[in-house]
Chains A and B, each alone.
Chain A
Amino acid sequence: EDQVTQSPEALRLQEGESSSLNCSYTVSGLRGLFWYRQDPGKGPEFLFTLYSAGEEKEKERLKATLTKKESFLHITAPKPEDSATYLCAVLSSNTGKLIFGQGTTLQVKP
């Protein structure tokens, strides 16, 4: 069964304190791994797509990496506006389903 597990569930950082979020997955044929940001009461906002092991993508203070079993979202020198829930999702090439993890809620304090 396709499964996505994110850790930690919650993370509190001081402004400027870098850290990483983890997404472990098992999927029947990985078509892509996606990172989203979700603010309270809003829909998931697309951040990155990763297709194959070794791939990396960057956007401002965020960098996503992918291995055969997991992905990391690295946050460098975060700011309070980076506070949100970060969601990881995998797209199965066998089923076409996009399956989400439970998310990591990040709080960045000034």
Chain B
Amino acid sequence: EPEVTQTPSHQVTQMGQEVILRCVPISNHLYFYWYRQILGQKVEFLVSFYNNEISEKSEIFDDQFSVERPDGSNFTLKIRSTKLEDSAMYFCASRIYEAFFGQGTRLTVV
């Protein structure tokens, strides 16, 4: 069964460093998303991506964040100059109708 794949499963980074979180969406899906979930809190929308461009972004998704679909299969989230409060689970999702989620990347900023 097709699934959304995220790598790495866990990333530890120093404050101020840049990280790239990677996702391989389900191949025939058209819409792509990144979400964030801080421990014990709700799943928060970050950004949606359609037709090779950002279609919606939340107020959280500021200049620190960027997304790319560099090669038609991968979908990446770049976080520049990481802060302690960026520590969270980051989920990628893709959909035609219902959205399917990856297992997440746990980002720990120290």
Contact = CB atoms under 8 A, between A and B. Distances in A.
Given A34-B99, A46-B100, A98 B42 contact: no
Interface stretch (B43-51, B68-76, B78-86): B43-51
B42 A102 contact: yes
Contacts, number: 58
Interface of A: 32, 34, 36, 38, 41-46, 49, 87, 89, 91, 95-103
Interface in B31-89: 31, 33, 35, 41-45, 48, 50, 55-56, 89
Interface of B: 4, 6, 31, 33, 35, 41-45, 48, 50, 55-56, 89, 91, 93, 95, 97-104, 106
A38 B103 CA distance: 10
A11 to B, nearest CB: 17
Nearest to A44: B101
Contacts of A95: 56
B56 A87 contact: no
